[in-house]
Amino acid sequence: MIESSPLSLTKGLGPALDDAGTTDLAGTSLFASDRDFPQLALSESAILHNIDAMMAYVRSRGVALAPHGKTAMSPKLAQWQVDAGAWGITAATPTQLRVYRAAGIEHLLLANQLVEPGAIAWLRAELAADPHFVCPVYADSAAGLALLAEPASATTSAPPAAGARPIDVLLEVGHPGGRTGVRGLDALRELAAQAAHAPGIRVIGLATYEGTLGGETEGEKVQKVHAFVRELAASASTLEAEGLLPADSIISLGGSAYFDVAVDELLAAGIPAARILLRSGAYLTHDDGLYARTTPGARGSDGAPDLLSAIRVWAPVLSIPEPGLAVALCGRRDVGFDQDLPSVRGVRGVRGRDGSAARGFVGRVAKLADQHAFIEFDADAAGAGAPPRVGDLVELGISHPCTTLDRWGLVPLVDDELRVRDLIRLHFT
């Protein structure tokens, strides 16, 4: 069943969505004459391939996966991942937690500190209402623990009710120059000791994010991840021996670039695979830039999942104001640019919107304005590399899916012939 939306909340797609929010796009070409552009589309086959590839990888290692839901903010795609075998879904904010909880996801993980009183009260109420609901959160300070340990009601100073389910907490470990997380074993030990006496709290393990470790080269970054995760494993073993972590404590980590290094290092340190929970999320759609360069597959890692880019943005050429320059209707409000500018993947002729194949086009996005992409090309090229014409649709690949998907609210899911299979609601607003 296709999700519907009022026309005022859509971007692209055109008048096929009427004012009542009904739609009849299923089975139609993405390039039908009544469609508006620019338009982002998601490849159904690439997404399903990526889900299967990632699940095959985690099963081969024996670890669990809670993919980060912030990449697409799509309950439908999240459910696909859970149905394929993911432990649950990771969120970054209380709002994201509420979206996925409202969609019926029973296992969530907040990869962040929970400090807002209303959100803490909401979590306690959800835990009390559903014995099957699980939702660990982070803590990296005594102040954060104190907030989590406060009673759910702001009108009473009474402690949480006897028998109430505690909030599961992962103590977050950081690194100098990184984001949140305690720095060093001594600070971690002190935090664990404080958490042991916080009412309504149950420490279940450690969490970290290795993706902010810097380096001049990919090789240097990989070595830093090795060293950092090795130290993390040693800290976990030390705290378990001291009784400050449970013997079955979990370790959660894993961005989308170096999760293989993190997993292999934990396993080498003797951490049981069943206690490792990955949070990698960008694999769902992959990309043609940042992750195409940095994921385990790009680095030739043994057994790495083979991922496919599932995102394309189609933008019409508005003008060719001078030789070698095409200006397309696609800008900073349509695509991310925090890691790379979009890449040109091809062009579809102005009369080819009926589903005919795109042709190769050698061009480069030189810069973006709010609604324009400035594409440089060889004005003398011929054949498959011939320049576009006004009205043609340029096919763009993107880098870092998170900062492109959050510019869209309702996107078509297409088959390999670029026919619309479904509309996917992205809950960024």
Model pLDDT for residues 191-243, shown as the tens digit of each residue: 999 999 999 999 999 999 999 988 888 889 999 999 999 999 999 999 999 99
Q: Tell me, which fold does domain 7-44+308-425 have in CATH?
A: Lyase, Ornithine Decarboxylase; Chain A, domain 1 (2.40.37)
Q: Whole-model pTM?
A: 0.92
Per-residue pLDDT band at 382 (split at 50, 70, 90)? confident
When pLDDT is averaged across residues 157-173 and rounded to a whole number, the result is: 77
Token pair of 7 as six digits? 């026309």
Query: Distance (Å, rounded) from C-alpha 401 to C-alpha 298?
Result: 17
When pLDDT is averaged across residues 313-325 and rounded to a whole number, the result is: 96
207 within 8 A of 173, measured Cβ to Cβ:
yes
Q: Taking Cα atoms as reference points, which of 205, 204, 194 lies closest to residue 233?
A: 205
Q: Check for a shared fold between 7-44+308-425 and 45-287.
A: no
The pLDDT value given to residue 355: 45
Distance, CA of 13 to chain centre: 24
When pLDDT is averaged across residues 359-388 and rounded to a whole number, the result is: 88
198 within 8 A of 149, measured Cβ to Cβ:
yes
31-44 CB burial, b ≥16 within 10 A, e <16:
bbeebebbbbbbbb
The pLDDT value given to residue 13: 72
Query: Distance (Å, rounded) from C-alpha 308 to C-alpha 295?
Result: 11
Percent of the residues in the chain that have a pLDDT greater than 70, as a whole number: 90
48 within 8 A of 55, measured Cβ to Cβ:
no
When pLDDT is averaged across residues 151-160 and rounded to a whole number, the result is: 48
Q: Hey, where are the domains in the chain?
A: 7-44+308-425, 45-287
When pLDDT is averaged across residues 92-110 and rounded to a whole number, the result is: 98
275 within 8 A of 205, measured Cβ to Cβ:
yes
CATH class of the domain defined by 45-287? alpha beta
Lowest-pLDDT choice from 57-61, 260-264, 384-388: 384-388
